[in-house]
Structure 1
């Protein structure tokens, strides 16, 4: 309630609560280190496979920690691990998680947070994958005529201009010249990539592995919001006991009470070389993702206040160590 001028009757201004701008902030570590992303068949291979995995990961995790902090400051580093419970479920959390924690500890590693790949598709009443799909901004191809349906219809997105389809020509007409696909911003030669993000539709939509991996990166960077609220925030799990069904776990659980924040300015993932094509696709998706302006600006301001270099482009905030697969162990 405000007075327009001295002696005037006070006037009241009403605003709908939904019209107020509100964006939840999240705590930020300097870097989130992913200690691996394994499929159920990797766990089925037994404890020796897990031990080999963490033995190969340990030196890279230590390097990430050493270079994480701004000069003269102590690094805030958290670790995480992603389990694929979306495409296959060969074992229960009660079996998998204790083995995972024990194998990591043998190499001097601690898993602070555990994420479920299915949690990237659905986290409680929210679908992080749908939130990302709504924020995709595909680049329009030069000379496009709209004949090809949009990404939101096909579930496919590329990093350039596709070869034209040689259809619809008249009988006996000369065959049109073939045209190569072309990467946007290519340097001399193209590395053209066309990625299936999902198939099906509505409740029957199945998200692809590269798309869920893109969601995972955005969750770790603290950049996804649902009507201003943070998405898939970690839930403390103080008990050494775990359920028999993956659906009984939250999307992300915090295993270590005093862990640095799950979300971070930057991410670093130690993955086997078999993940190279997937992460190529992830970087393309991130490069075509529009982040809420308020979220982007707040994180940039916090990084500047801490003296943390923060690339404006999302792929620039994501780093990897891609190592040789040893018997599938990475």
Structure 2
């Protein structure tokens, strides 16, 4: 009888999963396109004045989930420097912070959306968070799926169910009794809300990630669930009172503006966004429902939250919440 052989492995061969600190909630105070900033200071002041009562309500809601103690809430703001760059950090950020302060809000962390695509790690090497999330997608095959649909890694589309069958182009393949079938949502409650999400588009020059996919990466980063070879991704860089640069690439992907801020990563996220982001964030949930989270990372969240008796939903998508105020 052959005895099972022992396998010896150097512990240094397996990357250690870096631990991150957790707030209870990461509160996003906004996400604006470059075009929004061109409307001037009034647009920014109107944004934060509208967001302020909803941000206060989100903070108050955290306290109701705690058995005791003071809720830890950090705030953040995401700037879209990925799809366009109509201004510089030096020109754009100071009026943004002034408008927030005028409404009585403090932005603890400022992030660049391009960092969700490509950023620099602690060892100064390039890190590709979006590509990392793509490799973690585990598609949920709908009931009765034939496997005809190519994998998401090839076509760049991810759905939450079964598409309607495509029309055949050959009469020989069509049967006389063939009828149209509607798309269906996997796990639908009564009626389907089917969605097919484009994750990227390719050109001769580069791959352009979709807004929805980068927003999903942004949520995973805020939830502290993304690692690169065991290292935390998009760790904040203290900025203090330094002048902001003239080039976006000279600004770290996430900067900590408030030295007394609670941790950037959190058990839950809440985002106060304009209503135009509703379809994007629906797409984000479709993506998050099909992302595989590393067991060691999830275990860190479970251990920390259990020690605080703070309930964290098992499904990643359910850890996110949104407010879409009218007029924002």
Shared fold (TM-score, shorter chain, > 0.5): yes
Residue 137 (str. 1) matches residue 134 (str. 2): no
- The answer to whether residue 53 in structure 2 is matched with residue 59 in structure 1 is yes
Once the two structures are TM-superposed, the CA of residue 297 in structure 1 deviates from its matched residue by: 1.1
Q: How does 1:21-170 map to 2 (within 5 A)?
A: 22-69=16-63, 70-124=66-120, 125-170=126-171
Residues 175 and 166 of structure 1, relative CA distance in 2, 3 Å threshold: farther
Corresponding position of 1:302: 304
Structure 1 residue aligned with 2:3: none
**C-alpha separation between the residues in 2 aligned to 1:180 and 1:42?**
38
Task: Map Cα deviations across residues 169-198 of structure 1 (whole Å, 9 max, x no partner).
Answer: 434853721010000011111100000011
Task: Say if 1:166 and 1:176, in contact at 8 Å, map to a contact too.
Answer: no
Q: Secondary structure at the match of 1:57?
A: helix
Can you give the 5+ residue segments of structure 1 that lack an aligned partner in the other structure? 1-12
Q: TM-score, normalised by structure 2?
A: 0.92
Q: Indicate the SS of the match to 1:157.
A: strand
Aligned-partner Cα distance in 1 for 2:204–2:300: 33
Residues 80 and 111 in structure 1, CA contact (< 8 A), matched pair in contact too: yes
1:120 and 1:215 in contact (8 A); partners too: yes
The whole-number CA distance in structure 2 between the counterparts of 1:134 and 1:323 is 34
Shift of 1:142: 3.1
Deviations 1:94-136 (A, max 9, x none): 0111011000000000000001000000111101101110111
- Using the TM superposition, name which of 163-172 and 222-231 deviates more: 163-172
- Whole-Å separation in 1 of the counterparts to 2:8 and 2:182: 58
Q: Determine which structure has more spread, i.e. the larger CA radius of gyration.
A: 1
**Contact 2:267–2:312 at 8 Å: present in 1 too?**
yes
Cα pair 2:143 2:186 within 8 Å, conserved: no
| Match 1:263 to one of 253, 262, 265 | 265
C-alpha distance in 2, partners of 1:175/1:44? 57
In the aligned structure 2, how far is the partner of 1:223 from the partner of 1:201?
A: 30
Q: Distance in 2 between matches of 1:203 and 1:256?
A: 38
Instruction: Kindly indicate whether the alpha-carbon contact (under 8 Å) linking 1:36 and 1:270 is maintained by their aligned counterparts in 2.
Output: yes
Is the contact between residue 15 and residue 229 of structure 2 (CA under 8 Å) also seen in structure 1? no
What are the ranges of 5 or more consecutive residues in structure 2 without an aligned counterpart? 1-6, 121-125
8 Å CA contact 1:34–1:81 kept in 2: the answer is yes
Change beyond 3 A, Cα 1:142–1:67: closer
User: In the alignment, is the contact (CA less than 8 A) between 2:110 and 2:254 conserved in 1?
Assistant: yes
Q: Which runs of 4+ in 1 moved over 6 A?
A: none
Give the paired residue count. 314
Measure, in 1, the Cα distance between the counterparts of 2:206 and 2:41.
35
SS of the counterpart of 1:67? helix
CA shift, 1:17, in A, is 4.7
| Separation in 1, partners of 2:201, 2:142 | 22
CA RMSD of superposed structures (Å): 1.7
Question: Could you tell me how far apart the structure 2 residues matched to 1:201 and 1:167 are?
Answer: 28
CA distance in 1, matches of 2:298, 2:130: 19
Asked whether the equivalents of residues 237 and 256 of structure 2 are also in contact (C-alpha less than 8 Å), the reply is yes
Question: Which residue of 224, 227, 243 maps to 1:225?
Answer: 227
Task: Give CA-to-partner distance per residue, 1:124-179, whole Å, 9 cap, x none.
Answer: 11011011101111112333333321100000010000011121543485372101
TM-score (norm 1): 0.91
How far apart are residue 201 of structure 1 and its match?
7.5
